Amino acid sequence: MKSFLKKRPFIKETYSWLVAFAKAYLPKTRAKIAYKVAYGTNCNLDDPKTLSEKLLWLSLNTYRNNPLVLKLCDKYRVREYVSERIGDGYLNELYSVYTSIDDIHFNELPNSFALKVSQGCTTNIICENKKTFDEKKFNGTLKKWSESQRLYDKMMADIGGVPVNKLEKYYICEKYLKEPGKESPTDYKIYCFNGEPKAILVISDRFGDKTGLFMNTDWTFLSELSGAYHRPEKIYDRPESLDDMLFAAKELSAEFPFVRVDMYNIEGKAIFGEMTFFPNGCIHLQETEIEGRPMGDLLDISNLVNA
């Protein structure tokens, strides 16, 4: 399906719009259809068992009524939460903040940067060298961001239970993170269940020949990844800042049944990336077993479902 869409950009864009529309206006129906297509079985939201079912239940119920979740999905507002919980030392350097796309001028940006919409998904521009970056493409991307914001607002209003369109949008320009010898820094995506880090999804070269593994929190191998990810030639070296990453993940996840805390290891320092409550739209997740138990068993939401 994905290879078919890649060859037909118009169909791909139409398909993406339809998915976004369904998430925004038909969240429960979209969840059940997407689950059926992905797993071949009906989605049980009355008595969720699998990790996907439980995350879908949270997205449609508990997280929907939690304004804090909405705040932490905002890439600018989450910085305040991180600062309060674990300190500014874990935050990436912030160059500038804009409240309007019209205020962003390519020639005024630093030579390398990461530009993000504070409320959005896959709305990032990563620039290593502005001299070789396509300014026309840059401006076109900004225009697309503006056009897609309405559907995102509606989707997040359904999830967060608050009128997102009344929240001010920010466009943040941060330091470009570079890991020596790599096109992009390695991602350490820490799965946290009921406030406890349990597994680390490690992804390298995410914009190229993607490789990845699941590692335990003691840095032992758990499993390979599925889909487009290749297994690396050898197990990744333990990052110098692993203990700091796990500390950050534990502190940041303490209030939630589930959240994935994404981190980077830059020059031996743990840098916060984002908090992900709905990985991959809660469908076709990367999963692993921990001590012989599937991730769905590790996530206990029985007190919420039965309340």
Size (the chain), residues = 307
pLDDT at position 7, please? 57
| Predicted pLDDT of residue 159 | 47
Average pLDDT, the chain: 87
Give the tens place of pLDDT for each residue, 79-132: 999 999 999 999 999 999 999 889 999 999 999 999 998 887 778 899 999 999
> What is the mean pLDDT of the segment spanning 26-42?
86
Residues 41-91 pLDDT 10s: 999 999 999 999 999 999 888 887 688 888 898 899 999 999 999 999 999
**Residue 167 scores a pLDDT above 90:** no
Residue 196, amino acid:
E
| pLDDT at site 31 | 84
Whether 10 shows a pLDDT value over 70: the answer reads no
Residue 19 phi, psi dihedral angles, 5° rounding: -65, -45
pLDDT higher at 129 or 14: 129
Percent of the chain with pLDDT over 90: 59
Domains and CATH numbers, the chain: 2-174 (no CATH), 187-305 (3.30.470)
- Mean pLDDT of the 255-283 span: 94
According to the model, what pLDDT value does residue 71 have?
Answer: 87
Q: Sorting pLDDT into bands at 50, 70 and 90, what band is 162?
A: very low
Task: Pick the more confident residue, 167 or 103.
Answer: 103
- pLDDT at site 205: 84
State the pLDDT at residue 160: 44
Please enumerate in sequence order all residues whose Cβ is within 8 A of that of 237, keeping only pairs 6 or more positions apart, or say none.
none
pTM over 0.85: yes
pLDDT of residue 212: 94
Mean pLDDT of 134-143: 91
